[in-house]
Structure 1
């Protein structure tokens, strides 16, 4: 599996194009907007998009989902249903934050802890990691040792918890109990900013560091 990170929206959100090299099929993870830019990258890579994967319901991660799904007849997988209230409020989010209009949508499949999704022949584990939002999920490839963590964890920081139904301690528990056990060698793509590894964050992240395992 290979991937390409495409930065979208004024919030500089990391949309990831995941590509199964065996089948040339691909998924877009968190297409928050800038659809022409995303489609240009898909064309450049010469891959066949087969699905949209969503970590959580915040506007900068899902703003392009409804339009993209309708345009290409793509199924939408994720997040956990606890984030439905965020998706249902997309028009209000757009107005409040000054984003282009985004339509409400219903995922073809809500995701739960322990589920799996496929990109071509690549299997991704679904890990429910609430705290930033109640329905936040993380996608993890055991074979590639790669996690797509949305806004749960960043290089040197963690996700905000001051939005509705966010909770700081829940977020810390998600990181320590759900992510750290996956292994120090796991590289992760955050929702914003540069990649890092769980090991590096265990050692140096001031919010959750301390080499807990």
Structure 2
């Protein structure tokens, strides 16, 4: 399983192209913006996108989904507890960036605990990690984890001061991730990737 990180949009959100090197089958995680650039990168790498996945419903992680879905005709997966955020992502994007965006489609599949995303001979398991948003999820594979805005390289956690956030749930979610192997490579929604056992204390 190979990972390519792309930093997109005004909030410098991380999008990940995760693919099987042999088949070139790929999943696109958190395509927040710059659909044309993303599509060009996918073509340059000769990838075959199979699914689009959102770790949570914030606009800076989902802004390019409609374009990608229309181009590649592939399913969009997200936890449906964040459906309300997806529905209002266009107005949220305009509020923060002053840029008009199109409304998003509803998820084709609900990402719940235990769901597996198969990629070649590898798999990513869904772990529900609410707190930052009600429907935040992580994708956990062998020796790696894609955590959205749950946890960052400096030990900080995602914001939980939104009306729909839950600080207590966020702490529980962080504890779940910290139970993974300390050698796990963690790919966050913003900033650099890091080794789980090297972040020191978590400031949540």
TM-score, normalised on structure 2? 0.94
Task: Could you list the structure 1 runs, at least 4 aligned residues long, displaced by more than 6 angstroms after superposition.
Answer: none
CA displacement 1:10-49 (0-9 Å, x = unmatched): 0000000001123111111000110111112112211111
Residue 100 of structure 2 is matched in structure 1 by: 100
Asked if 1 retains the 8 angstrom alpha-carbon contact of 2:90 and 2:100, the reply is: no
Asked if 2 retains the 8 angstrom alpha-carbon contact of 1:22 and 1:121, the reply is: no
Residue 39 of structure 2 is matched in structure 1 by: 39
The two structures, once aligned, show a CA RMSD in angstroms of: 1.3
Give 1:206 shift: 4.3
- Kindly indicate whether residue 137 of structure 2 is the aligned counterpart of residue 137 of structure 1: yes
* Cα distance in 2 for residues equivalent to 1:186 and 1:24: 24
* Cα distance in 2 for residues equivalent to 1:154 and 1:109: 27
* Cα distance in 1 for residues equivalent to 2:178 and 2:131: 16
> Of 165, 180, 183, which aligns to 2:181?
183
Gaps of 5+ in 1: 209-213
* Cα distance in 1 for residues equivalent to 2:140 and 2:114: 11
* Cα distance in 1 for residues equivalent to 2:51 and 2:119: 8
Q: SS in structure 2 opposite 1:164?
A: coil
Map 1:102-141 → 2, pairs under 5 A: 102-141=102-141
Give the length in aligned residue pairs. 202
* Cα distance in 2 for residues equivalent to 1:47 and 1:38: 11
TM-score, normalised on structure 1? 0.91
Q: SS in structure 1 opposite 2:177?
A: helix
